[in-house]
Every structure is written in structure tokens, then in C-alpha cells.
């Protein structure tokens, strides 16, 4: 069995089965590092634009006073990808479209309605298809027209 599968008696923590002090220390170190990144991200994100620009200038003038982490996060925040990541993390990704009407099968019939009809054949005076304003086409008819 793999760690994380439940129930898993082989890897489950018990009073007798505990990680070594080195493993605990490494785990806490990773947790502290993640928290440090999140704290710094929150600090940078809550700055005014003026403060952020001043900090960027200070990093250029005095690089010995700033950590690599701080510099990298500032570079990341100024990229467009940050906005998408930020919105995904704080608002969640947009819900995916789910087809609940066709029971997983392909849609067999399409209904088209001409809303702003123009006169003529192909927009020049008269309607095709016997002058029908609303038309139903089967999938195979659409495929023939698209070929």
C-alpha cells in the first residue's frame, strides 16, 4: 500500500510508529518555508503601487538588502500569469460546462433561427431552404454542407 491511502495500517501514524526527529524537522521546515512565501506574497500584494515601485527601485539600487525570494516574488507579481494564478487561487477556477441534456450522447439535431434576416439568397433578397425562417438540420446534413 502507498502512503496516503486510507485505511493503511502500514503507514498510519500510531504512538509506536512516528517519524524520526530529522523527518519531523524537515516537515516543519517545509511548512515554515511555505508560510514565509505566503506571508511575503500577502505583504507585497497589499502594498500600494507607489510602495511597490519604490521597493523595485530599492532592489535595483541595494540588491544586498533583499532576498532572492523577495526579488523573485516581485518579478512574478508583475507578470500577467500572476493575475490568472491569483484569481484561480482566491476565486477558484471557472466551472466547466457539463452537458446534462444529451445523457453523454452527441447532439443529433440543431435548430437555427434567423434573427436579423437580410433579403436575398445568401443575404441578398430571399431565404434559402424554401423560405423557412426556422430550420432544423440533422447532423449528417450539416456535415454534408461543411464538406
Distance, in Å, from the CA atom of 26 to the CA atom of 30, rounded to the nearest integer, reads: 6
Distance, in Å, from the CA atom of 53 to the CA atom of 40, rounded to the nearest integer, reads: 16
Bridge partners of 139?
none
**In the numeric block, which cell numbers belong to residue 83?**
493575475
Domain boundaries, the chain: 21-91, 109-146
Distances in Å between the Cα of 35 and the Cα atoms of 9, 38, 55, 72, 145 are 31, 5, 21, 16, 59
Distance, in Å, from the CA atom of 73 to the CA atom of 63, rounded to the nearest integer, reads: 14
Q: Can you give the pLDDT at residue 54? A: 94
Q: Give mean pLDDT in consecutive 10-residue pieces for the chain, a chain of 147 residues.
A: 64 82 93 92 90 93 92 87 80 69 68 67 53 49 52
Coil, strand, or helix at residue 113?
strand
Amino acid at each position: 500500500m502507498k502512503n496516503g491511502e486510507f485505511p493503511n495500517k502500514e503507514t498510519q501514524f500510531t504512538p509506536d510508529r512516528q517519524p524520526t526527529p530529522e523527518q519531523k524537522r524537515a516537515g516543519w521546515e517545509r511548512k515554515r518555508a511555505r508560510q514565509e512565501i505566503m506571508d511575503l506574497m500577502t505583504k507585497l500584494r497589499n502594498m500600494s503601487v507607489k510602495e511597490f515601485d519604490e521597493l523595485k527601485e530599492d532592489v535595483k539600487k541595494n540588491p544586498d538588502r533583499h532576498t532572492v525570494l523577495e526579488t523573485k516574488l516581485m518579478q512574478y507579481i508583475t507578470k500577467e500569469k500572476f493575475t490568472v494564478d491569483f484569481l484561480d487561487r482566491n476565486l477558484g477556477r471557472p466551472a466547466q460546462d457539463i452537458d446534462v441534456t444529451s445523457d453523454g450522447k452527441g447532439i443529433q439535431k440543431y435548430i437555427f433561427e434567423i434573427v436579423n434576416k437580410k433579403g436575398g439568397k445568401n443575404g441578398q433578397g430571399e431565404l434559402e431552404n424554401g423560405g423557412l425562417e426556422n430550420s432544423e438540420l440533422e447532423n449528417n446534413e450539416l456535415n454534408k454542407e461543411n464538406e
